[in-house]
Amino acid sequence: MIDKLIFGRFVPGESWIHALDARTKLLGGFYFIAILFLANNPYAHALMIAFTFGVIFLTGIKVKVFIKGVRPLLWLILFTVILQMLFTSGGIIYFEFGPFTISSFGVINGIYVFIRFTLIIILSTVITLTTTPMDLTDAIEYLLRPLKYLKVPVADIALMITVALRFIPTLMEETDKIMKAQRARGVEFGEGNLFEQMKVVVPIFIPLFVSSFNRAEDLADAMEVRGYDGGEGRTKFRLLHWRWIDLIALIVIVLLTASLIYLRGY
């Protein structure tokens, strides 16, 4: 499952979402996450689901690609949903044992949490799949530009965030290779009690940390050889441009917000 994680990858394309300015996609993504928590009923959540699938359709990338990308994180989402169901009371009580309660209110909240987490992951994946790492770096640096007045190294922060996003798939593939190598040596993952399962994870983390530090050192050497010394005084070969399609995206987001506020009354 680990090698199927697509978050952080870039897929070239000529779709409408690919054509959007990287700043529009970043701001739109954060804004979507913010207004997603305004949804408080089935109609509002159905609207957000429909909007998300509409965005996926405009990317030109198959839906099953995004579904495969969510699968590696499915257990984490389900764990959060279970906690929400067990520790949220209200409405009809279905099961109660000590501090644990399963009620109608908890089940509904659990379903909403599942929908929200899934949509957040999908929309975040849309941004990375349709935006090059260089454009992401420029967009993050531009949006954080006001912090320069506070002597914050905006260019370095933007570079670190982009490199981290870029190497998420690489680290996942490395983890999968290490796990396969350990299985070939007779290690059984997911067997035994909790302590035994934690013990078998150690042979994964140690080589993963070593390879990560080696990769980071190689990347730093490559950047130094190419003369990279931060963003101060550097010109840009690629410039971000706000176009009419970004204005359309802004109008759509405003309409989505208005519709969501209207549906909150139902």
DSSP string spanning the chain? -GGG--TT------SHHHHS-HHHHHHHHHHHHHHHTT--SHHHHHHHHHHHHHHHHHHT--HHHHHHHHGGGHHHHHHHHHHHHHT---SSEEEEETTEEEEHHHHHHHHHHHHHHHHHHHHHHHHHHHS-HHHHHHHHHHHTGGGGGGT--HHHHHHHHHHHHHHHHHHHHHHHHHHHHHHHTT--TT-S-HHHHHHHHHHHHHHHHHHHHHHHHHHHHHHHHTT---STT---SS-----HHHHHHHHHHHHHHHHHHHHTT-
The one-letter amino acid at 246: D
Q: What is the mean pLDDT of residues 82-89?
A: 78
Cα separation of 181 and 218, whole Å? 24
The token pair that represents 144 in the structure block: 């954080």
- Is the pLDDT at 94 greater than 70? The verdict is yes
Greatest mean pLDDT among 60-74, 95-109, 143-157, 248-262 lies in: 248-262
Q: Can you give the pLDDT at residue 208?
A: 82
Mean per-residue pLDDT, 215-238: 75
* Residue 1: predicted pLDDT: 44
Confidence of residue 46 (pLDDT cuts 50, 70, 90): very high
The overall average pLDDT reported for the chain is: 81
Q: What pLDDT is attached to residue 8?
A: 62
**What percent of the chain stands above pLDDT 90?**
20
pLDDT digits (tens, 9 = 90+) for 60-81: 888 888 887 777 777 788 888 8
Residue 31: the pLDDT is: 94
End-to-end CA distance of the chain: 40
Beta bridge partners of 219: none
Instruction: Please spell the DSSP secondary structure of 121-137, one letter per residue.
Output: HHHHHHHHHHS-HHHHH
CB within 8 Å of 151: residues ≥ 6 apart? none
Q: Is the pLDDT of residue 47 over 90?
A: yes
Residues 156 and 264: their CA atoms lie apart, in Å, by: 41
Question: Given a cut of 70, is residue 190 above it in pLDDT?
Answer: no
At residue 183, the pLDDT reads 79
Is pLDDT larger for residue 172 or for residue 232? 172
| 59 contacts 15 by C-beta, under 8 angstroms | yes
pLDDT exceeds 70 at position 235: no
Bridge partners (DSSP) of residue 100 are: 97
Please tell me the number of Cα atoms within 13 Å of 64 on its side-chain side.
0
Q: In this predicted model, what pLDDT tens digit does every residue of 103-142 receive, in sequence order?
A: 778 888 888 889 999 999 889 889 888 988 778 878 887 8
Q: What is the token pair recorded at 46?
A: 């159905």
Asked if 7 and 128 touch (Cβ cutoff 8 Å), the reply is: yes
Over range 45-60, report the average pLDDT. 92
